[in-house]
Structures are given as structure tokens and as C-alpha cells.
Amino acid sequence: MQLQRKAAAKPKPHKTRRAKKKEFTAMYTTDKYEGVFAETITMTSANGDSINAYLARPLGEGPFPAMVLAHHLPGWDAWYREITYKFALHGYVTLSPNLFFRAGHGTPEDIAARVRGDGGVPDDQVVGDLAGAMKQVRGMQGVNGKVGIFGTCSGGRHAYLAACRTPGFNAVVDCWGGNVVMRPEQLSPKMPVPPIDYTKDLSCPVLGLFGDEDTTPSPEQVNLHEAELKKYSKDYEFHRYPNAGHGFFYYHRPNYRQAQAVDGWEKVFAFLEKNLA
């Protein structure tokens, strides 16, 4: 399947879905009040540790649904602060915890390199941080009680893992999360169980966005993930994009694919509105 060369054309992703509700998207009108308050805060992980996080919340009439963002392996960087603000502009109280907090402080690139050199961060620790973020954002004034989780790259893996292992999330968005499916030789003390093995415990709908040219996850791994969701009759939507690889939302990188990214963001917000409104 190929994209048309017209500038306005949208990709036609390979789509597999088991959605049970009708999709709809909120319409912005120019008479609406719009405002966002954003700041760095301190939050408490489920294991009791204090870490920092970036919070962005819409101003105006609530109540609002909430989102937790699991950042990618390149770190707690500017792109994640930008999309924290983006989610708030769309009406979500959004919290992005610094999952690399315990590796020290410096530029996101330096800290990400330190984490890579140390073999990543422990799954149990990340799940605790994301569970703590869910608890904190759900308890904020003006939140409607529903909380989704979103992640890209390793953050997609962590978002899916947290949604499977932590009761309370109402929706999960996994954007090209690598190593949801893992070979035995990839397991380690920090990542002892493949996230796919927790699929039976997933208690909320999941949206997955993937590029056909990606290798982590590969199309074959996405197939295995989908088969596991079908096996346990989970509520899911998977969309696969031709002519796109890993990280096709990242406008500041060569792997950006404009048409696929625009279509993908539309699907993200339609899915969240359907499940969190």
C-alpha cells in the first residue's frame, strides 16, 4: 500500500481493530476560552521515592480527563515537554514523570547515554513511577477520575507494561513500543519478563501505532502482540503505516513522516476522547 504524492493526502494504515465504541473527535471553536498552566513539580513514586515531573493542565471549566506520559529512551527531553503541553491544549491534565531521575541530572542527552550504558532502568521501578503519576494526577482538583497513559519507543513499552501491571488506567496508547515481545536472550534482571506475557492482565483499551519499516518492533513482533490481545479478547486498535519506520512522530529527526504523523495524532485523540471523556 502506498501513499499518494499529493501534499494533502493522508496515509491509509493497515488497520486491525476490536473497538467497541463509535469514534468521535472534539471540535475546537474560536469562541472557546483556552489556557494552559505548566510547571515542573515533585511527585511521589509508588515505592515512596520523590522524583520530578512536568505537569501541564488546561485552565477553564472542567472536569478534565488526565494523561500520564512515559518518555522514550532519548530521555525526558524537549519533545516530551512539548507533547505534555500538547495534551493539555487538547483538554487533558497531563503529567510526564522523569523516569531517569535516579540517574542524576544534566542534559537529557547526557542522562540518556548514562542510562543506556547502565542497561536501562528496571521495569519494576518504572512501573512504580508511572503508578505514582497515575495516583497523583487522578487526585488533582478538576480531574474527572479517568486517566490514560501514552508512550513512544521504550515509553510505549513502559506504558503497555504499566497498564498491564497497574490497575486503574482507563486507556493506553503504545506508539511503536519496542521489546514488548522479547527473545529469551534479551531478558535481564532489569527486564525479567516480556510485557506481552502480562497481556492477560490488561484491563483497559489499547491503541497501537506502528510503522511497517520498523525493526523494533518489527511487523512480525506486532503480529505476535496482536495475536496475544486476540487470545485474551482485549479491546484494542492497531494501525500500521506504510513507508514509516521507528519514531515517525519526531518532527526534528529524519525518520519523521508528516502524513503518517498527522493521521496518527488524529487517531490518538479520537481514541482518548472515546475512552476518557
**Poorest-pLDDT segment among 19-33, 45-59, 165-179:** 19-33
Q: Which residues have a Cβ under 8 Å from the Cβ of 108 and sit 6 or more positions away?
A: 74, 75, 76, 77, 78
Query: Whole-angstrom Cα distance, residue 121 to residue 174?
Result: 18
**Is 5 within a domain?**
no
- C-beta contacts of 116-124 below 8 A and 24+ residues apart: 116/73, 119/188, 119/190, 120/73, 120/154, 120/190, 120/191, 121/190, 122/189, 122/190, 122/191, 123/158, 123/161, 123/190, 123/191, 123/192, 123/193
Domain that holds residue 237: 14-276
Evaluate whether residue 227 is within a structural domain.
yes
28 found inside a domain: yes
Is residue 2 situated within a structural domain? no
The residue that leads in pLDDT, 266 or 33, is 266
**Could you read off the pLDDT of 213-227 as tens digits, one per residue?**
999 999 999 999 999
Averaged pLDDT of the chain: 92
Residue 167 covered by a domain: yes
**Rounded to two decimals, what is the model's pTM?**
0.91
Instruction: Identify which of 245, 271, 274, 275 has the alpha carbon closest to the alpha carbon of residue 257.
Output: 245
Whether 236 maps to a domain, the answer reads yes
4 within some domain: no
Residue 134's nearest CA partner among 124, 149, 144, 156 is: 149
The CATH number for 165's domain is 3.40.50.1820
pLDDT bin (cut points 50, 70, 90) of residue 141 is very high
The whole-number pLDDT of residue 29 equals: 86
Number of domains within the chain: 1
pLDDT digits (tens, 9 = 90+) for 105-140: 999 999 999 999 999 999 999 999 999 999 999 999
